[in-house]
Structure 1
């Protein structure tokens, strides 16, 4: 029954996103499979946290889209999320859910909470930070950079990042409170709402900053020979762009995975410090 419920819910939500052009065909298939497996092996709490990230991020990507066109024009991937983006944001969470199903332990849940907080915080920072009226600063040098530059941070983006992490913590706690299912028993019995939501908020900030730092140091970046912009794409203005920095293979998806991993690790460490495991 859990497999059928997961399949029905995932197909409905991913299908609506596909119709609204938030997902490509490959993204729809990946989201459907990921959501189905997570519901079947986890619970409504695990699945709901994933869906909260996906729906909020999809809505924000459509919000004031024209105002964010300048920043988004330099991104490697924009618009409809493909399978790579879906897996980069949800694949690590699914792995943790699967491990917890096979070897139940409270810290797997906290790692999952941190991962989902990090990907949500990073996405909110990108979508809302792109509306900042002041140019962002490079997290590496502190110098002003063009909107959309990888590794650029702004006050508005940082605030959005914190809000995204807190949002995931609040949603997960509410789901656990009203659901017949639960996270591992040790988590449920030691649950302190403020601490739990705070962990998600901190993990979101840490994961988002890690994403920005890696984006400013390791991510492959190019310069357009036509407009002169520093971009994530290998082509721009209809012409091949020149690679100017970064390590081979470190594209936007790889950076997102690493940022989410940092969020997961930080959540586990915070849970251990607070004695919640």
Structure 2
């Protein structure tokens, strides 16, 4: 029955997101599978956290969308998520959910919150930071970068990342009574989400500034994530061939999950 409920709820949410152009068809299918697993193998704690990430991130992606249109041309992924982006953001959390189903352990929940806080922090930083009136700076060299450049950080984006991470941590504590592990104070869960999420977002910026595959547009000269820009093929400029945006998201969320797991282990 839990798996059926999860499927129906996931289909309703993903279908609405597809109708609102927040998900592609492949993204909707991936979201239905993911939501079913989160509820079937988990419970309201796991599914509710996934919804908290998805709904807040979707709303932010629509906020002042016209001002972000030019920046999105430089991104490998836009506000409309495909299956790859859905899995990069929630796939690792789904794996942890399944591990907890097979081998119940309260610490899995902390790792899960760190993972979801990381992807939330990264998404909030991108959506809000892109509206900053001040140009971003490289997280490694502190040089001024063009808006939308991977590895760039701003005070507005960093504040948004911290807020998003803390929202996931606070949400975890609120969902404790709905199937979550019955342990840990509000401050422990806030720390797991806040610190884990910021660690993941920082890792994302570092990887974006160093190992992520980037291209140079021969028309406008900008460094972008996409192989086509300004209507022409771009030229590889740096990074590893396999280190695309999805790989960066996966590795950064893994770091956030690890930090939150350690916080939960120390607290227990």
Question: TM-score, structure 2 length as denominator?
Answer: 0.98
The equivalent residue for 1:27 is 27
Structure 1 residue runs of 4 or more that deviate by more than 6 Å after TM superposition: none
CA apart distance, 1:69? 2.4
| 2-structure distance, mates of 1:31, 1:172 | 20
1:240 pairs with 2:233: yes
Query: What TM-score do the two structures reach when normalised by structure 1?
Result: 0.95
SS in 2 for 1:222: strand
Paired residues of 2:58 and 2:79 also in contact (CA < 8 A):
no
The root-mean-square deviation of aligned C-alpha atoms, in Å, is 0.9
Structure 2: stretches of 5+ with no match in the other structure: none
Match of 1:192 among 185, 188, 195: 185
Deviation at 1:79, TM superposition (A): 2.9
The CA distance in 2 between the partners of 1:153 and 1:172, in whole Å, is: 27
Distance in structure 2 (CA, Å) of the matches to 1:56 and 1:253? 20
Kept in 2, the 8 Å contact 1:73–1:148? The answer is no
Equivalence for 1:182: 180
Residues 116-162 of structure 1: per-residue CA shift (max 9 Å, x gap): 00000000000000010100000111100001000000000110000
Q: What do residues 153-178 of structure 1 show as CA deviations (whole Å, max 9, x unaligned)? A: 0000110000001101111211223x
What SS does structure 1 have at the residue aligned with 2:240? Answer: coil
The residue correspondences of 1:151-166 to structure 2 (distance < 5 A) are: 151-166=151-166
Q: In the aligned structure 1, how far is the partner of 2:175 from the partner of 2:258?
A: 23
Aligned partner of residue 243 in structure 1, secondary structure: strand
User: Which aligned pairs between 1:28-47 and structure 2 lie closer than 5 A?
Assistant: 28-47=28-47
Structure 1 residues not aligned, in runs of 5+: none
Deviation at residue 257 of structure 1 after TM alignment: 0.3
User: By how many angstroms is 1:107 displaced?
Assistant: 1.5
State the Cα distance separating 1:4 from its structure 2 match.
1.1
